Amino acid sequence: MTKRIAVVASGRGSNFQAVIDAIGDGLIPARCVALITDNPKAFAIERARRADIPVTIVDYTSFPSREVYEKALLEVMRQVNADLFVLAGYMRILGKDLVREFAGEMVNIHPALLPSFTGLHAQRQAIQHGVKIAGCTVHFVDEHLDGGPIILQLCVPVFEGDDEASLAERILEEEHLALPEAVRLFCEDRLTIEGRIVRIR
């Protein structure tokens, strides 16, 4: 059965594009039914329009508090009624109520090999720490920042002379492979969460 997925993004949306391209190529048995963004200037909006995907803007700056914003976001997500929500460059930490409501139905892509280098500027953290291998992680979202059960990880080498930008660019290429693959596995009902472990059937 074809799954309904929705993407939540804040920026340029290159991972969003990778997912909708994979759907268009028949690699993911799903239909992208919505883009939800907190940023009315996000380039992801243009990508959605080109693909005829409905866009809902929940502009963070138009709400008096984070709590009010999150209530509005939660209501939008309920109305979308997706089987899976994909956080693809969504730059805000989700509150516990929202995370609990969609437990096991929301995934995130992070530009580091978790559990190392959570939060912002993961690539910079990796450079500063002197690691030799970096990469990206797709994980289920839980109440801990970048802490949910890991679905997939892909690695890249860290070269002498790398800076944050060059490493980020190399990691992003792997993100464009990892996120569509994780979404495909979910949509094929091949993922099972057992505690902290994600089993792939």
Q: What are phi and psi of 129, to 5 degrees?
A: -80, -15
Which listed residue (110, 129, 144, 176) is catalytic? Answer: 110
3-state secondary structure at position 194: strand
Distance CA 23, CA 72 (A): 28
121 is catalytic: no
Q: For residue 56, what are its two tokens? A: 């809902």
Nearest to 107 by CA among 2, 201, 16: 16
Contact 109, 122 (CB under 8 A): no
* Strand arrangement of the beta sheet that strand 197-200 belongs to: 55-57, 30-37, 3-9, 84-87, 106-110, 133-140, 150-157, 197-200, 191-194
| Residues labelled catalytic | 110
